[in-house]
Amino acid sequence: MHWILALVPLGASLACSPQAPARQLVPFPDPERWAEDLRILDEQDAIEPPPLGGIVFVGSSSIRDWATLEADMAPLTVVKRGFGGSTMEDVRYHLHSLVLRHEPRAIVLYEGDNDIGFHGVAPSQVLASFQALTRDLHAGLPHLRAYVLSVKPSPLRWADWPLMRETNALLRRACEQDPRLAYVDVAATLLDPNEHPRVELFAPDRLHLNPRGYAAWTAALRPRLIASESRYENLPPRTPEP
């Protein structure tokens, strides 16, 4: 059975949404720009190594800024690895440092927001990078489960929502092809009945979530993770070798 949590159909009407702009293929930005951020994470891990065998939350600032993540997902063992402004290709490039060396049983991935809304990457490019990322993941950890969060609509990037919806549809179909992948629709929780962003769930920058927005994400994601991952919490997390 494929893991799909969809709160509303992805094909819902776009009557109140902007029209999708034309988007040409563009290069992804250089992933080496995150070298300093990754060095800081490496130093933190050397001081306090995270347990092996947990659930790595990896992605852009929506993961980095999730201040209540550990409490929201308790009693699951989670490792937060968000770095602001990142893209799908950034996660793939830094996959060993961010994910593989922690030997997780599962990951939760959030990318695509900056790919489209900041760098102008086309949905097809996001999909291709996601497919390459999952191939690399499963080459290193064949049984790893990946929960893929849908790209969120936001007031600031509302003009890009049609392209983000297209990306979500592509990610969802890709997840349907592999039982190790789960598409989780957290975008629907941020839309009102008129298919507009719920501004009360966003920070003043109109892009990032506020605590109410993260509560909405938690309500969508936590039951899925608890149902699928709680059984593995009986196995004590392992500590990396010094």
CATH (domain of 139): 3.40.50.1110
Give the model's pLDDT for residue 27.
66
- The total domain count for the chain is 1
Q: Does some domain include residue 7?
A: no
CA 21 to chain centre: 24
- Integer Cα distance of 202 and 208 in angstroms: 6
pTM of the model: 0.85
182 part of a folded domain? yes
Could you tell me if residue 46 is inside a domain?
Answer: no
What length is written for the chain?
242
Query: What pLDDT shows up at residue 48?
Result: 86
List the chain residues with pLDDT less than 70. Answer: 1-27, 234-242
Helix, strand, coil abundance in the chain, percent, nearest 5: 45, 15, 40
In a domain, 200, yes or no: yes
pLDDT in tens, 24-61: 556 677 778 878 888 888 888 888 888 899 999 999 99
30 within domain boundaries: no
Query: Is residue 211 domain-resident?
Result: yes
Range of the domain at 171: 51-229
Query: What pLDDT score does 4 carry?
Result: 36
